[in-house]
Amino acid sequence: MSAQKGLNLTLKIWRQKNNKTKGQFETYKISDVSTDSSFLEMLDMLNENLINEGQESIAFDHDCREGICGMCSLYINGRPHGPDTGITTCQLHMRMFKDGETIHIEPWRSAAFPIIKDLVVDRSAFERVMAAGGFISVNTSGNTLDANAILVPKEDADSAMDAAACIGCGACVATCKNGAASLFVGAKVSQFALLPQGRVEAKRRVLNMVKAMDEEGFGNCSNTGACEVECPKGISLEVIARMNREYFSASVDQG
């Protein structure tokens, strides 16, 4: 039985030295790519070829390569994380592409995510939004009590866990025509708003996080639903509706 033939591909990759310089697509050829390899392994293979040829390697972000951290943020053929559904870029395999295909690879496109180099963007805006309220204040001075014994309805617990599945990759921002971060912020608000431990600071949290989101330059949500479609964890638009309700309630109470 003959070995399976590898893919021969043309890659059009965005190259940009930093956010102060103008970027452009550059074309690369790569051959004999195994269909069993991941997309990031294909880029590793390309970089090895470039280094052996004395050229500068392509900068791209990655860490866990297990679909957990969300760092592998690439726009592939017009879709965040590529042509498959419900996965991150590191979980995308080359079997999704055809021999002889041309693949366009870009960084996230958002004013709030400035390009650092090539395919790497600065997503620290998400971190600043989280720092504004995406946490529960707990006394950890050594006087901690036993686990909370308040009963939580299973439906609420399940919804909170679904929202907490958000890995903050930024695909929602990249695919939104407005560059909105409402799905991300809605998920982080929802994971706390649905549980009794999060209700204590609920009003302060949603007001501060929405304010921080606006200050970072993210666009407004217009409910096109693209964010839900491209989210690798399938976060529902329901979290945006919950965030809006929480925000309206907190704004009324604030006066």
Tokens 């395919």 belong to: 119
Query: Residue range 180-192: average pLDDT?
Result: 97
DSSP annotation of 96 reads G
Tens-place pLDDT, residues 103-151: 999 999 999 999 999 999 999 999 999 999 999 887 666 666 666 678 8
Q: Tell me 91's DSSP state.
A: G
What mean pLDDT comes out for the span 158-176?
A: 97
Structure tokens at 120: 């790497």
Nearest alpha carbon to residue 121 among 130, 129, 131, 111: 111
Average pLDDT over residues 97-106: 98
- The DSSP letter of residue 242 is H
CA distance 83 to 184: 21
Q: What is the mean pLDDT of residues 191-199?
A: 93
Given this model, what pLDDT does residue 2 score?
Answer: 46
| Euclidean distance between CA atoms 231 and 180, whole angstroms | 13
Query: DSSP characters for 121-148?
Result: E--HHHHHHHHTT-S-----SS---SPP
Residues 6+ apart with CB under 8 A from 68: 167
Nearest alpha-carbon partner for 76 in 131, 38, 114: 38
